[in-house]
Structure 1
Amino acid sequence: MQEPVFLRQSVTSTPSLYKYLNRFIGTINVIVFIASIVYFLNPSTHAGWNVLGGIYIVLLLSNGLLIYLKPYTTTFMLWYPFLLAISMLTMGILNYSISNSYEAKPLMQMVVYIAFLLPLFVASISTFLEERYFEPHKLFKIILIVMVGFVYLLGFYFSSIIVVPYEHGVIEAIVTSFSLLFGFVFFAATILISKLIDNRKLLFIAGGIGLIITSIHFLPFLSTQSTIVNLDKQFKEAFQEPTNNKSFLRHPFSIPAYFVGMPQQDIQIEKDVIFYEDDDITLRFDVFMPKESQTTKHPVLVRIHGGAWKSGDKGADNVMQMNKYFADQGYVVYDIQYGLSTLTTYDLGIDTPMHLIGPFTMDDMLSHIGIFTNYLAEHANEYKADLDSVFFSGGSAGGQLATATALAIENGSYNDIFSDTITVKGLIPFYPANKSARAINITGRDEFLEPENLIRESSPPTLIYQGKNDSLVDWETAQSFKDKSMEKGNKHVAIGYMPFAGHASDYYFPGFYNQVFLYYMERFMWMYK
């Protein structure tokens, strides 16, 4: 194999500058490996740990740079990109699974930790080993180049989702929230192609494409600080200076938590409690409660899943770790079902529980939620639920339903539907589809289809999560809600705009978008509970 001219070196000796750089970065790998274990033993969202997270990211990039600079090919150089990609995908998949499981998953969490450490471990070992020149078989090289080509095609598609807001369906939720992990997968492909192509011009083109794709996937992560600054400004203008509590997140974003997940909560869970049943439908809820609490009453958070009013369900379809997180914060959290409509043919491509579907209008769905509020009022003592401190939250269609419910209860004119014993203290809709129901043939009362028509000066304070690149619910829908509130004299509305974020970009619970919003959401609820 003839080495590229600009990399050609004797395979028997490594330039001294490269050798020193290799040993230095290898030593840092070892230090970060040890520091990471310390973090795993006592995970925290303290801002100081972001130093570790930042160095971890730089190290992964530096390890790739070392592979590119190495004047000859070794076995490690071909395996490291695969290990890096597998580690990133493993962390993303398992963190999502852990977040959306009712039970704790300690074995899965251990695998996540191993996946985090694996690139550091392999890079550390490689640094201090003398590896021989390795010439991959020509057919093997062709197979690898074809594989990288497919990865690049996927990278182009994912990049278009991040940069250009057009409708992609469920994949939109995956790409933007996992973008940093995917960025390292595409970086791994770039490293690999750099060791497979001998032609300088082709290497420049292929490497440049890979770096562009990687950079685009890093954009959402790099915009995190501006997200924090903008949301902090909105929060202070609409409410007041965010309060602090020892149980709150200590910083709006933890880089290590993005990779290895957030700590699991030790709480009580009751699943599939029936709150309504007739010949047509049976509705259930899950309730998440603080464990062994001595408090006589707890504030309540009611969460309503999305799914275009025709699909979705409680549980894994509704960011379950959010329920567990706030139960650990002292709330009684209800994750509820409602009837799903057959009146629309719109399809998000997600599961539809067949026992919940029927020709339901918007009025019917809100009637189902109203039945739950009456059940809650009747059974509040069983769950130590404080009816004078209730919050509503939901995403997309669930955000619209949560908005309509909260505003209708506060309005006081719908006591035939909702319990009049509930006091709504706050509303937290995620990308609420407040203007979308009519467009997909959902029928009902005007004020229920477009709940901003229910806004009054006395409407509850509202904190909204909204992706700027959401192709299903335009960011202007959230802005319209705020404008209407201001018009009515209600200034207590803030919007957390998430740069590059698509629809359902909060579904990766330890993701940068969700962490930032969670930091302000818990303070918002504490302030008004």
Structure 2
Amino acid sequence: MVSLIGTSVASVYGSRYSKLDISYLLLSTVGLFAVMLINTIVSLNPTNQSSRSVLSAVIMMVILAVGVGITGTPVPKKRRYSRHKRTFTYSRESKLKKVSQVVMQVLLSVVLLTGCYLAYVLVTRTSSGLAEVAVSQYSLFYSLIFLNSAGLLLKVMSSKDKPVLSYSVSAVGVVLFVVFALPFLSIPSQLNDAEDNFTEAFGNEWETFENNLSTFREGPLSIPAYFFGLPSENYALTEDILYYEGTE
């Protein structure tokens, strides 16, 4: 977590318009979203007994490896181009770059607006159908995704003459990061009351179980398991079981 957050901050406040910084922010944003979806699909697939995805693990390792390169790469010096050496090819590349920047700005703005809506759902507990189901359990992914999205928007937009816009995007990114990190930060306080709540709901019989009962986890929380998946125990799967056959 510290590595992912620190690398994102270093990418945003590193060299301006650095291709390496932009590549990492884009990779981290898309990669974390892909890991979130892949882990969900794998965990819902009963035929996958490992409940882990090699692809999501590879994506996470690539993100971390590129992050190491980001933090270890010195800030390059800005190049100076002579006005007399501009060519028609350079002009076409400049126009293409501007168009791609505008497209990226629009897409990232939509992403941040979506993040604001999901944050509103999370904080106010507003009923919003399926969106409400897919907010709290993925909140740690969202906190990093929207932080990187805000940083990427800062890198691709021309905000030298618009400091207010730059500060606004930064504020939105930080606020979304904090809001979506709240469920994770509230886990210690929830764990303090977990035993009392469990006893209130199911009684005191569970205390008679052996301490080494395999159905209980050794630790209440695992951050690596959150990103890489939690392996399942061996089990036998029987498919195509007929529960009912009739006309009524």
Instruction: Give the TM-score, by structure 1 length.
Output: 0.40
Deviation at 1:275, TM superposition (A): 2.9
**1:182 & 1:134 partners in 2: Cα distance?**
36
Larger Rg: 1
Decide whether the 8 Å contact of 1:75 with 1:134 is kept in 2. no
SS of 2:126 mapped into structure 1: coil
Tell me the distance in 1 between the aligned counterparts of 2:193 and 2:210.
17
Residue matched to 1:151: 111
- Alignment partner, residue 465 of structure 1: none
- Confirm or deny that 1:112 pairs with 2:49: no
Report if aligned partners of 1:87, 1:118 keep a CA contact under 8 Å in 2.
no
CA 1:275/1:123 → structure 2, altered by over 3 Å: closer, same or farther? closer
Cα distance, 1:273–1:128 mapped onto 2, change above 3 Å: same
User: Does residue 38 of structure 2 align to residue 94 of structure 1?
Assistant: yes
Cα shift at 1:185: 1.0
Richer in helix (by share):
2
Q: CA deviation at 1:129?
A: 4.1
Q: Distance in 2 between matches of 1:105 and 1:73?
A: 44
Higher strand share: 1
Aligned to 2:233, which of 265, 280, 289? 265
How is 1:174-253 mapped onto 2 (pairs within 5 angstroms)?
174-195=134-155, 196=157, 197-198=159-160, 199-236=162-199, 238-239=203-204, 241=207, 244-245=211-212, 247=214, 248-253=216-221
1:121 aligns with 2:89: no
Partner amino acid, structure 1, of 2:113: L
Give 2:21's aligned amino acid. M
After superposition, the C-alpha distances for 1:78-104 in whole angstroms (9 at most, x for unaligned) are 111111112211221111111111222
Deviation per residue, 1:94-137 (Å, 9 max, x gap)? 11111111222779711111122122111222344456448983
TM-score, structure 2 normalization: 0.81
Following the alignment from structure 2 to structure 1, what is the Cα–Cα distance between the partners of residues 236 and 50? Answer: 17
Give CA-to-partner distance per residue, 1:400-427, whole Å, 9 cap, x none.
xxxxxxxxxxxxxxxxxxxxxxxxxxxx
Question: Which structure carries more relative contact order (alpha carbon 8 Å, separation 6+)?
Answer: 2
The root-mean-square deviation of aligned C-alpha atoms, in Å, is 2.5
**Residues 423-478 of structure 1: CA distance to partner in whole angstroms, max 9, x if unpaired?**
xxxxxxxxxxxxxxxxxxxxxxxxxxxxxxxxxxxxxxxxxxxxxxxxxxxxxxxx
Contiguous gaps of at least 5 residues in structure 2: 81-93
2:28 is aligned with 1:84? yes
The structural deviation recorded for 1:180 is 1.0
Quote the residue 1:512 is aligned against. Answer: none
Aligned to 2:247: 279
User: Once the two structures are aligned, what percentage of the paired residues are identical?
Assistant: 23
Matched residue, 2:128: 168
- Deviation per residue, 1:265-316 (Å, 9 max, x gap): 3211112222332112xxxxxxxxxxxxxxxxxxxxxxxxxxxxxxxxxxxx
- For 2:240, the aligned partner's letter is D
Gaps in structure 1 of 5+ consecutive residues: 1-56, 281-529
Residue identity matched to 2:107? M
| Letter of the 1:251 counterpart | G
Mapped partners of 2:37, 2:21: distance in 1: 25
| Cα distance between partner residues in 2 of 1:211 and 1:90 | 22
Q: Indicate how the Cα distance of structure 1 residues 161 and 69 shifts in structure 2: closer, same or farther if over 3 A, else same.
A: same
Which residue does 1:139 correspond to in 2? 99
Q: Structure 2 matches for 1:470-485, cutoff 5 A?
A: none
CA distance in structure 2 between the partners assigned to 1:134 and 1:266 by the alignment:
58
